Chain A
Amino acid sequence: AQKITQTQPGMFVQEKEAVTLDCTYDTSDPSYGLFWYKQPSSGEMIFLIYQGSYDQQNATEGRYSLNFQKARKSANLVISASQLGDSAMYFCAMREGSSGTYKYIFGTGTRLKVLA
């Protein structure tokens, strides 16, 4: 069964510093996608970055990058040059590609607080 684990309930980072949010996953499907979402206090889930299981390179989107270590089943989100507006909940999610299910499974999230 697919599972996402986020072990950091909360993280603090100084403005302009980089921060890594951890995510490990479990699946037996060789085809899957990993996603990170940001949820500010307003409640909307905002898509940040995607990594496919067959992608050879780590995904990057602006200040976001994904440290994908397939053998360790980890997909950590790295936010560079943190900004005050990055303070939010961050969720790691996975969707299997060939198991016949198309649902996204989410972790419990990490609350990030950026300090001025």
Chain B
Amino acid sequence: DTGVSQDPRHKITKRGQNVTFRCDPISEHNRLYWYRQTLGQGPEFLTYFQNEAQLEKSRLLSDRFSAERPKGSFSTLEIQRTEQGDSAMYLCASSSLKGRKLGMNTEAFFGQGTRLTVV
């Protein structure tokens, strides 16, 4: 088990371009989360999946953002028509209820993030 993997680690793009990030969660983790983190702030929730179903999206997630998890394994986050305000670290995390009592909370395991710079 190699942990949560994100690709790319860094992305520089011109304003108006589309970008796509990939996240590979810990194998067999059924929940996958996307967060955005700007300098000096805590991670802000964007969206999460349980298996392939996208169960919740933040109101912060504009129509330019779309996330998928087509087979319940890896996930992609696409940002269309990027703006300078999209510059941030995009973090992916995964978690699982396996081995825990029903209803107990479990920790999320994070990847190293993708740092996006829009110029």
A64 at interface by CB-CB < 8 Å:
no
Interface presence of A106 (CB below 8 A): yes
One of A43, A47, A52 near B104 (C-beta < 8 A): A52
Question: Closest CB-CB distance, A8 to chain B, in whole Å?
Answer: 13
Q: How far is the CB of A87 from chain B (nearest CB, A)?
A: 16
For chain A, the bracket of interface size reads 20 to 34
Stretch of A14-22, A29-37, A74-82 lying at the B interface: A29-37
| Complex interface bits, A86-116 against B, C-beta within 8 A gives 1, otherwise 0 | 0000010101011001111111110000000
Is residue A50 within 8 Å, beta carbon to beta carbon, of the partner chain?
yes
Report the bound CA distance from A20 to B43 in whole Å.
22
Query: CB distance B55 to A102 under 8 Å?
Result: yes
Closest to B89 in A: A43
Residue from B33, B42, B104, B112 in contact with A103 in the complex, judged by beta carbons closer than 8 Å? B33
Using C-beta atoms within 8 Å of the partner chain, give the interface range for chain B: 20 to 34
Bound Cα distance A44, B3 (Å): 11
Query: Which one of B91, B103, B109 lies within 8 Å of A97 (CB-CB)?
Result: B103
With A43-B115, A45-B91 given, is the CB distance from A103 to B48 under 8 Å?
yes
Is there an interface contact between A42 and B112, defined as CB atoms closer than 8 Å?
A: yes
- B28 on interface, CB distance cutoff 8 Å: no
A102 to B93, CA, bound (A): 12
Residues of B within 8 A of A107 (CB): 42
Instruction: Identify the B interface with A (CB < 8 A).
Output: 31, 33, 35, 40-45, 48, 50, 55-56, 58, 89, 91, 93, 103-113, 115
Which 8 pairs from chain A and chain B are nearest by CB? A33-B105, A106-B42, A45-B110, A47-B107, A103-B45, A44-B112, A106-B43, A108-B42
* 7 more A-B residue pairs beyond the given contacts A50-B106, A95-B105, A103-B58, with a C-beta to C-beta distance below 8 A: A43-B112, A44-B111, A47-B110, A97-B103, A103-B33, A104-B108, A107-B42
